[in-house]
Amino acid sequence: MLKIHQLHKSYPIGDSSLHVLKGIDLNVEDGEMVAIMGSSGSGKSTLLNIIGMLDEADSGDYILDGLPIKNLTEKKAALYRNKFLGFIFQSFNLINYKNALENVALPLYYQGMKRKERQEKAMFHLEKVGLADWAHHLPKELSGGQNQRVAIARALAANPKLLLADEPTGALDSTTSYDIMAFIQQLNDEGKTILMVTHEEDIANMCKRIVKLRDGVIMEDKKIKQVRAQQHV
């Protein structure tokens, strides 16, 4: 599914530059659920952004589902993001003037799907996250947990190969966090490949594999026995 080899990335800071990723090697198979951990500044978010084609690596190879991701034009990157990737952000990143249904339908709009079809599909995914009754509410009328579920529905709408989550529970209380995690685990059970950045130990333990980053290199990469979130709810 995902092959990364000797990935480097640095950011210019004034005259000097900050070397954030110093040669990352990572392979992720279909159906895996990987937590990327590390303290702040370890490069975990940068790695996720590069995987998400939101940012570009300076050097190294990144192959997604057999497609080399390199020197993409903006247009191509947009197309790939739409086709292959679903994003879940810490701050949800819903468009505030669109209701839940419209937010979920947005990636489908960029796929060029017909209005009626995409509304049906969006509704289907909203039902899946249990928010069908809230379809016509604006983000500000929903709770944090509900907003994150709308965001998950949106990430799922385009039926991506890979789900990327950047601290998906970072803005939620622990009960809601477990609720969301339970849902993400369920998606993984259904076969979705999931990559998640977190710095919370308990959340990481709910994944199947933990990759620990420190100062831009992978310190530890181990498979673990998944803790089911359902037990905590």
The overall longest dimension of the chain from CA atoms, in Å, is: 53
In this structure, is the dihedral angle defined by the CA atoms of residues 30, 44, 86 and 68, taken in order, positive or negative? Answer: negative
In DSSP terms, 18 is beta-bridged to 11
Q: How far is CA 180 from CA 63, 88, 136, 168, 208, in A?
A: 29, 11, 21, 8, 16
Q: Which amino acid is at 148?
A: Q
Q: Which is nearer to another protein, 48 or 206 (CB)?
A: 48
CA distance 152 to 162: 12
Q: Which is nearer to another protein, 139 or 206 (CB)?
A: 139
Strands 193-197 and 33-37: parallel
CA distance 147 to 137: 10
Query: Across the chain, where does the E strand assignment appear?
Result: 2-13, 16-28, 33-37, 59-64, 67-68, 85-88, 162-166, 193-197, 209-214, 217-223
Q: How many residues does the chain have?
A: 233
The CB-of-225 to another protein minimum distance in angstroms stands at: 33
The CB-of-114 to another protein minimum distance in angstroms stands at: 9
- Residues at the interface with another protein (CB under 8 A): 49, 52, 54-55, 74-75, 78-79, 81-83, 87, 89, 91, 93-95, 97-98, 102, 106-107, 109-111, 115, 154, 158
The CB-of-167 to another protein minimum distance in angstroms stands at: 13
Q: Which is nearer to another protein, 110 or 124 (CB)?
A: 110
Q: Which is nearer to another protein, 81 or 209 (CB)?
A: 81
The CB-of-210 to another protein minimum distance in angstroms stands at: 24
17 sits in the region (left: phi over 0; alpha: psi -120 to 50; else beta) called beta
The CB-of-101 to another protein minimum distance in angstroms stands at: 12
Q: Which is nearer to another protein, 79 or 182 (CB)?
A: 79
Q: Which is nearer to another protein, 87 or 183 (CB)?
A: 87
The CB-of-31 to another protein minimum distance in angstroms stands at: 24
